Amino acid sequence: MSDTKFDALCIGNAICDVFAHVEEDFLVQESLVKGSMRLIDTDEALRLYDKMGQTVRISGGSAGNTAAGIASLGGKPAYFGKVAKDELGDAYAHDMTATGVHFATPPLVNDIPTARSMILITPDGERTMNTYLGACTKFGPTDVDPDVVAASAVTYMEGYLWDPEEAKKAFLAAAHIAHKNGRKVAITLSDSFCVDRYRSEFHDMIRNGTVDLVFANEHELKSLYETADIETAISAARESGALTALTLGSEGAMAITRDEQIKVKAEKVDNVVDLTGAGDLFAAGFLFGLARSYDHQAACELGCLCAANVISHVGARPEKRLSTIAEQAGFEV
């Protein structure tokens, strides 16, 4: 979209990811649900960190990962997210701007620290997340820069940010500005438990046109439409009127509208190391494709290429330039 400054504005929880490889028994001992995300307080964050063993620390957060992925493709992303004025917050801001993301949200200056998520990776590559939100909970309408929203082809928000009331207000304000300026609005459902908490509100946003594009995996889409059958969920998505970008793991991905239902194959990955960020990087490729006028099939294919790259190493952000990988695969970036 030639009249935009940014391919996408990503809004989410600015979180530092702390990774550790663990055995299945560790999850059992800690009474953790494999593959889930739970919110924890400061004491639990410190206790669990002490038991994790060797760790790797990387700036993350779902929407932040998507913004970093768009930048790696050679795109122009912006990001809204709240960090504290502390060591982790300064490092997070540095990481975002160093990757080419426009990030100018004012940091929080008080005794609430920057958020962090402790991600436990089992031998099969599945991740179980334990998240302390910290400064993220203070993101609100005053952090929405109208000029950035107006200049972004798509405003994209993670469902995880729907918990704090002020963040919800911020997203609705941004959605209004986006539509007023002829832009699109997208949301990723983030987690089936998140959908369980806010199903009716998500449905309302789809029905009333607040959201034009929905990102979901199979579990999230089935939760949204309260069915155990994925084909029933896909049919409901078609009837919703929104564009739905559905990820299906090793089965690939789909783009679903009233008029079409496109499915593409997943990229082959020889060694799945860490599934963290697969959905985030799929969204990066898809959003980049839409901003650059790809059709839905090509956007899905680029999303799958980005997802395949990120699951081949630890961490939810690219280790190599995705623009180079995409060009080698025949995409114009």
pLDDT digits (tens, 9 = 90+) for 201-214: 999 999 999 999 99
127 assigned to some structural domain? no
Per the model's pLDDT, the better-predicted residue between 209 and 60 turns out to be: 209
Name the residue type at position 23: E
249 assigned to some structural domain? yes
pLDDT of residue 57: 82
- What pTM does this model have? 0.89
Region 157-165 average pLDDT: 90
Can you tell me the distance from the alpha carbon of 23 to that of 124, in angstroms, rounded to the nearest whole number? Answer: 10
pLDDT of residue 272: 83
Q: What is the pLDDT of residues 74-96, one digit of tens each?
A: 999 999 999 999 988 998 999 99
In which residue are the tokens 């990087």 written?
A: 281
Structure tokens at 324: 């180079």
Q: Dihedral of CA 201/206/210/216: which sign? A: positive
Range of the domain at 212: 6-12+62-110+134-328
pLDDT of residue 50: 86
17 assigned to some structural domain? no
Mean pLDDT of the chain: 93
34 assigned to some structural domain? no
Q: Dihedral of CA 49/52/55/60: which sign? A: negative
Per the model's pLDDT, the better-predicted residue between 7 and 275 turns out to be: 7
Contact 174, 27 (CB under 8 A): no
Task: Please report, for the chain, how many H helices and E strands are present, in that order.
Answer: 12, 14
pLDDT of residue 290 exceeding 70: yes
Q: Dihedral of CA 210/212/215/220: which sign? A: positive
Can you tell me the distance from the alpha carbon of 41 to that of 131, in angstroms, rounded to the nearest whole number? Answer: 8
pLDDT of residue 2: 53
Question: If pLDDT is split at 50, 70 and 90, which confidence band does 183 have?
Answer: very high
Q: What is the DSSP letter of 318?
A: -
32 assigned to some structural domain? no
Tell me how many domains the chain contains: 1
Can you tell me the distance from the alpha carbon of 193 to that of 197, in angstroms, rounded to the nearest whole number? Answer: 6
Torsion of CA 201, 205, 211, 217, to 10 degrees: 40
Contact 218, 230 (CB under 8 A): yes
31 assigned to some structural domain? no
pLDDT of residue 93: 95
pLDDT of residue 289 exceeding 80: yes
pLDDT of residue 19: 86
Region 156-173 average pLDDT: 93
pLDDT of residue 157 exceeding 60: yes
pLDDT of residue 312: 85
Question: If pLDDT is split at 50, 70 and 90, which confidence band does 56 have?
Answer: confident
Can you tell me the distance from the alpha carbon of 327 to that of 42, in angstroms, rounded to the nearest whole number? Answer: 44
321 assigned to some structural domain? yes
pLDDT of residue 274 exceeding 80: no
Q: Vertex 114, ends 111 and 117: CA angle to 5°?
A: 135
220, 221, 240, 244: which is closest to 231 by C-alpha?
221
129 assigned to some structural domain? no
Tell me the longest C-alpha to C-alpha distance in the chain: 54
Distances (CA, A) of 177 to 26, 156, 166, 209: 46, 13, 17, 13
Residue 237 maps to which CATH number?
3.40.1190.20
pLDDT of residue 271: 83
pLDDT of residue 144 exceeding 70: yes
By DSSP bridging, strand 6-11 and strand 152-158 are parallel
What angle, 0 to 180 degrees and rounded to 10, lies between the N-to-C axes of helices 278-291 and 296-310?
A: 150
